[in-house]
Structure 1
Amino acid sequence: MMAANSVALGLFCMSFSWLLVRPEDLWRQQQAKVENSRSCPWRCMSFVQMWPGTFCIALGRRFECVLPKDANTWTIHGLWPSNIMGCCPYRYLFPSDLVDLTSELNEHWPSFINLSNFQFWEKEWQKHGSCAGCVEALSSPDKYFRAALFLRTKYNIDSAFQRAAITPSCIQSYQLSTFVTVLRPVLGDQYELQCVTDVQGRQILVQIKVSLHSNFSSSCIEDSDYNISPYKPCRSERTVFYFPTSQKFPRNPCP
């Protein structure tokens, strides 16, 4: 009987041995498969920047919206491989992964809702970053987030608008073509300006998506119009507002 019980226990332990595999090891196994395939399941990726002054306008009431005092520049929303999400749920993000980048990420990739900055980065990593590892330059959390910070400098919307004297205003609006003319030399040909509409019917710039190749060059042409963003392309038949940020009234900065 004891021998039979020992065999049964051994089989039981073997059947559950996979539970003892660490998440890090599962990630390495998955990463090895990706690297051995020498190809990506995606061709383009979107680098997405958001304007804090408009973000809270379209935010659902179940979220608390809080803008930091220094939220007056375009911030990173994400770096998204196209047409794919959530590739490796076993690869978690740890604070130690970003120890050298935390200060810059807090400044340029902040959360504006009742979610800590790290929780925001964690969601972006698991949803999008885990699909980017087939590119060597994005094959770890440090590389992925470092690349996003580099891209914010490379595709600098703040500088482009400043050179063209485009400034946030509750009164002045712009033709969509004005933004296109200013941004094309900086962002290339494949990018999308996205807008929201407030209760007064004003079309307001909120987000800009730039389509990139895996080597971070611009003007990658998507295979489809798959769009995971909650925002819609700005419409050329209407003028576009570029609202200032308001820490006191983030949901209605221009009543």
Structure 2
Amino acid sequence: MHRSLLPLLVSLSPAILFLLPGIIVTQEGLWEDYKYGHGDLDNHNFCTWKCLLFTLQWPGTFCQSLNNVSLCRIPPTVNNWTIHGLWPLHAKNRCDCWPMFPSDVQELKAELTELWPSFVRFKSNFHFWREEWRKHGACAACVEGMNSPLRYFQVCVKLRARFNIHSLLEDAGITPSCERPYKVKVNKSNSDLGKDFSKPLMSSLPVEEVQSVLAPHVGDKLEIQCITDEQDRELWFQLKIRLNRNLTVGCDLCTDAEDAPKIQPGSRPVPSPGHPCPDRVPFYYFPINHERPQRPCG
């Protein structure tokens, strides 16, 4: 059955909606089928992808990623890494035929509001969630464990709990700061640490290695992603964790350069796709500033 008909069919009565030769579909059965998905989607030929990117974003620098920073806001309840999305890589077809409604994720609304908020003023949380489902979740739905909006978002919430980035960094002494720089990784020779960087360090504090802290927990295929601000500083913006279809870490069958959300031209404040933080250039892990999210460090 074409999925775009399901919401209409679910709203119909009586209890038996229609009959086909040898098939009886009840309202209750159809709703359960719509809510929890089908188990045979992985047989479809569009399920060709092998890897997923679980992408987390850091609210402290999200506003700097927008073309129009004035339309950015950080809810006062947000003090941690948040979800950007779970993206199948190299999916050959994007399925726009499976709509998503607020009722699909009603039981997860509180958790999603905390863990997956929108930081753009004109975009509601549900708008953000629906956008991610349409662009990425519907393609992930060929895997039985993610074969409905509810299941897809449940998986994302569980992944966010599994990868508690803030705690991992804090335990290693890596905390948000306006002055202290960090590095993706330290080169074998550290004799030139603090030299030959594109910009001088703002602090004499030691530059800590971030990749070595995170890799044992999220796999060595992680991408630490930066944006460049108006002062040419590299700011930590996102973390991309590569997963296999069974959600184990470290899928190495593909590259993700072409799989970030595509940026469309125009005046609307769309987020920058960012870039991998350079190995030899220190980056900054800015604190969250709810009152001045556009300029957390001045």
Coarse TM-score class (shorter-chain normalised): 0.7 to 0.9
Q: How many residues align?
A: 236
Displacement after TM superposition at 1:146 (Å): 0.3
Which of 68, 82, 87 aligns to 2:75? It is: 68
Residue 194 of structure 1 corresponds to which residue in structure 2?
225
Per-residue Cα deviation, 1:162-201 (whole angstroms, up to 9, x for no partner)? 1111111001111221110100111011110000111111
Per-residue Cα deviation, 1:200-234 (whole angstroms, up to 9, x for no partner)? 11111010000101111000014234232511000
Which runs of 5 or more residues in structure 1 are unaligned?
Answer: 1-18
TM-score normalized by structure 2? 0.73
Relative to structure 2, which stretch is displaced further, 115-124 or 155-164? 155-164
Distance 1:205 1:60 in 2: 17
User: Equivalent residues in 2 for 1:205-220 (5 A)?
Assistant: 205-220=236-251
Distance 1:103 1:97, change over 3 A: same
TM-score normalized by structure 1? 0.85
Residue 228 of structure 1 corresponds to which residue in structure 2?
260
Distance 1:189 1:25, change over 3 A: farther
Residue 241 of structure 1 corresponds to which residue in structure 2?
284
Displacement after TM superposition at 1:36 (Å): 3.3
- Answer yes or no: is the 8 Å Cα contact 1:43–1:82 preserved in 2: yes
Which runs of 5 or more residues in structure 2 are unaligned?
Answer: 10-32, 186-208, 262-272
Distance 1:39 1:201, change over 3 A: closer
Residue type at the aligned position of 1:138: M
- Answer yes or no: is the 8 Å Cα contact 1:24–1:91 preserved in 2: no
Displacement after TM superposition at 1:83 (Å): 1.8
Distance 1:188 1:78 in 2: 18
Displacement after TM superposition at 1:25 (Å): 8.3
Residue type at the aligned position of 2:259: N
Which of 137, 143, 152 aligns to 1:135? It is: 143
User: Equivalent residues in 2 for 1:43-192 (5 A)?
Assistant: 43-61=50-68, 64-84=71-91, 87-113=94-120, 114-177=122-185, 178-192=209-223
Displacement after TM superposition at 1:40 (Å): 2.4
Residue type at the aligned position of 1:189: D
- Answer yes or no: is the 8 Å Cα contact 1:86–1:130 preserved in 2: no
Distance 1:88 1:72 in 2: 34
Distance 1:64 1:86 in 2: 32
Higher helix proportion? 1
